[in-house]
Amino acid sequence: MKKVVVIGGGSGLATLLRGLRDYPIDITAIVTMTDDGASSGRLRKDFNLLPPGDIRKCIAALSENETALTDLFEYRFKTGLGLAGHSLGNLLISAMKDMTGNFELAIEEISALLNIKGQVLPATFDDVNLMAEFDNGKLITGESKITKYGYLHKIKEISLTNKVKTNPRVIAAIDSSDVIFIGPGSLYTSIIPNFLQSQMSKSLAEAKALKVYICNVSTERGETDNYSAGDHLKTLEKYSVDFDSVLLNSSNFPDGSGDGFVSPVRPDCSGNNRYRLLYADLVDETNSLYHDSVKLGAEAWRIIGKSKQLNRK
């Protein structure tokens, strides 16, 4: 059985996991740990807890039987003093951490309760935030604040607020993998933060696996406004993210979709001959700003099946 590692964060990583879940593979999800918004941000502040939100999404996506229990896990309170905005799953992870005294064990226990396929690993257990320098010289700390400030200014540089140690199980998973998928997800706040950890970046570069970057379907306001696929690749190169193939969406949708500020990521990679470019229709027909989990899973499975032929190592 092929060992498949997926790296990222946010809803993009969960979409890929949901698409891959039912295929006969050994899945490990590696999740960025810099989220500081909404429920995760409040729990970080109130309970000195690592952000559970992206972990929760991945656990739900890998649940082998998405039943009422999974729906309950993903439920977000709409009202209630102190409860409004919180996801029940985030609260359960927080409670399990208190009961076990250990965030890693809490994830394992919750994963067992929801009978997930594979494993979900935090990229690090260290408390860390993102910091961005913008084109006007302004420094902004905090993932949620960075994206919001990016509505008016362009990100120039992204970094971590402190040096962190990569989760050793993450390094082991990367080292033993057959295929590694990077993304999809927010370029600056879900993908790159993982590789600002020198240990993870080094492990990825040394891995013998086939490494595939999955480019987003649409641009993202505050991060990648007007970015082409080539712009995404240049940004990843700037931060020394190592991969050999790129999966791009081949279908299209109108500019100004969604909130009126995003557009399709143009598959223009002119002048860049470093990567094998793979194309497929990956758009969710009900929401063209995102990948369709079934289409994405099927294409990822096809790539896994051809990984020996595609791998240049």
pLDDT tens, residue by residue, 13-22: 999 999 999 9
Q: What is the pLDDT, as a whole number, of residue 260?
A: 58
Nearest Cα residue to 32 out of 56, 2, 48, 10? 10
Positive or negative torsion for Cα 62, 67, 71, 73: negative
- Kindly report the pTM of this predicted structure: 0.94
**Domain spans of the chain, in order of start:** 1-31+166-313, 34-122
* Residue in the structure block whose two tokens are 């690592």: 50
More confident site: 39 or 24: 24
Q: Is residue 224 scored above 70 in pLDDT?
A: yes
Nearest Cα residue to 235 out of 101, 100, 126, 132? 132
- Local confidence band at 57 (pLDDT 50, 70, 90 cut-offs): very high
CATH class of 1-31+166-313: alpha beta
- Our CA dihedral for 232, 236, 238, 242, rounded to 10 degrees, sits at -150
**Region 26-44: what's the mean pLDDT?**
87
Structure tokens at 41: 């941000």
Q: What is the pLDDT, as a whole number, of residue 189?
A: 96
Average pLDDT of the chain, as a whole number: 91
pLDDT tens per residue across span 163-191: 999 999 999 999 999 999 999 999 999 99
Q: What is the pLDDT, as a whole number, of residue 256?
A: 57
- Local confidence band at 259 (pLDDT 50, 70, 90 cut-offs): low
Q: What is the pLDDT, as a whole number, of residue 166?
A: 98
d(CA 15, CA 36): 21
Looking at the chain, the whole-number percentage of residues with pLDDT higher than 90 is: 71
Nearest Cα residue to 53 out of 72, 69, 71, 76? 76
Residue pair 130/98 in contact by the 8 Å Cβ criterion: no
- Local confidence band at 42 (pLDDT 50, 70, 90 cut-offs): confident
Q: Is residue 156 scored above 80 in pLDDT?
A: yes
Q: What is the pLDDT, as a whole number, of residue 25?
A: 98
pLDDT tens per residue across span 79-97: 777 777 788 889 999 999 9
Q: What is the pLDDT, as a whole number, of residue 209?
A: 97
More confident site: 212 or 37: 212
Q: What is the pLDDT, as a whole number, of residue 121?
A: 98
Q: Is residue 254 scored above 90 in pLDDT?
A: no
Residue burial 133-161, b: 16+ Cβ < 10 Å; e: rest: ebeeeeebebbebbbebbeebebeebebe
Pick the most confident of 40-44, 45-49, 58-62, 268-272.
58-62
Q: What is the pLDDT, as a whole number, of residue 186?
A: 95
**Region 266-276: what's the mean pLDDT?**
82
* Residue in the structure block whose two tokens are 């993908």: 191
**Region 204-209: what's the mean pLDDT?**
97
**Region 202-223: what's the mean pLDDT?**
96
**Region 46-55: what's the mean pLDDT?**
87
**Region 240-255: what's the mean pLDDT?**
87
Q: What is the pLDDT, as a whole number, of residue 283?
A: 92
Q: Is residue 258 scored above 60 in pLDDT?
A: no
Looking at the chain, the whole-number percentage of residues with pLDDT higher than 70 is: 95
